[in-house]
Amino acid sequence: MNNTRVQQQIETITGRPVDRLSALSGGCVGDVFCVHMQTAPNLVAKLGDPGSGLAVEGRSLEYLSRVGKFPVPEVLHADDDLLLMTFLKNGGGLGAGAQAHGGKIVAALHDITTDQGFGLEFDTVIGGLNQPNPWTPKWVDFFMNQRLLYMGLEALRAGRLPIELMRRLEKFSQNLSRWLSEPERPALIHGDMWTGNVLSDQGRITGFIDPAVYYADPEIELAFTQMFATFGDAFFNAYQQTRPIAEGFFEERVQIYNLYPLLVHVRLFGGGYVNSVDGTLRKFGY
């Protein structure tokens, strides 16, 4: 879709004239633009193709806003060609103040629960990849089948995960209960909480973008924030004021849970992420 057509579509959706589009960074799935409006606040437009998952991303943002009361952009339009959202300020960096604010926000999100089990009523996307969410009564079963084994097989089919490593992953997955226990209840999570998906300004979180939402053990979310050093002590100190973290998380479970985003990166990129999966499995004896 060319920019002129995009501008025309946005004008039809909003009923207001568009001044211009300017490129923004990010956009694993498609191009991202700031939409400069002539008589209204700026918007953000993500462009994609059929099957891009933008419609699901829009639905996920709406779910987080409606069910979790979580700070995300307001979705004005969502299909796989165009996701149109409100513009959130970003540029303050994730200093101690923003991290402490984030800890409180994420703890409140993780207080949202369901009695249907682990998963969600619709599949979501992570990095543009399908993320299956069938309702499952037990967390360890869900994590094994719908996260580790599912994404491992996707990486294997793409030719990026060696068969020998897949076999080791299968053996490890069958013994997850040695390290993981069932959480008290499912928690709603954002699902893709790395630095690029956290927006802040003047020491406060302004919102979160690009969710891969579902109900999970909240530790998988906390682990993901460690994979790329998104959050540190200020975040965890604030989080634990209302949601204490059980012993052994930082020592063992962080690495187990981060096998999933590692497998996502293996499926997308291969390369050194394969070695990281190998190293984690070796640490746990597989």
Nearest-angstrom CA–CA distance, 107 and 142 = 22
Mind listing the pLDDT tens digit for each residue in 42-93? 999 999 888 889 999 999 999 999 998 999 999 999 999 999 999 999 987 8
Do 199 and 89 contact (CB within 8 A), yes or no? yes
Confidence of residue 27 (pLDDT cuts 50, 70, 90): low
At 143, the amino acid letter reads F
Over residues 11-19, mean pLDDT:
95
Burial (0-12, 13-18, 19+ Cβ within 10 Å), 28? middle
Is 115 in the active site?
A: no
114 sits in the region (left: phi over 0; alpha: psi -120 to 50; else beta) called beta
Catalytic residue among 80, 192, 210, 217: 192
Q: What is the pLDDT of residue 250?
A: 96
Mean pLDDT of the chain: 95
Q: 166 and 25: one domain?
A: no
Full domain range(s) for residue 180 = 96-283
Q: 58 and 184: one domain?
A: no
Residue 26 in this model has a pLDDT that exceeds 80: no
Question: Could you give the number of structural domains in the chain?
Answer: 2
Confidence of residue 4 (pLDDT cuts 50, 70, 90): confident
Instruction: Note the Cα 128 to chain centre separation in Å.
Output: 11
Helix (H) or strand (E) holding 188: strand 187-189
Q: 116 and 57: one domain?
A: no
Q: What is the pLDDT of residue 209?
A: 96
Q: What is the pLDDT of residue 125?
A: 96
Query: What is the signed CA dihedral for 105, 106, 111, 114, rounded to 10 degrees?
Result: 120
Mind listing the pLDDT tens digit for each residue in 108-140? 999 999 999 999 999 999 999 999 999 999 999
Nearest-angstrom CA–CA distance, 26 and 143 = 28
Q: What is the pLDDT of residue 28?
A: 62
Q: 22 and 151: one domain?
A: no
Judge whether 91 lies within some domain.
no
Judge whether 196 lies within some domain.
yes
Mind listing the pLDDT tens digit for each residue in 248-281? 999 999 999 999 999 999 999 999 999 999 999 9
Q: What is the pLDDT of residue 1?
A: 58
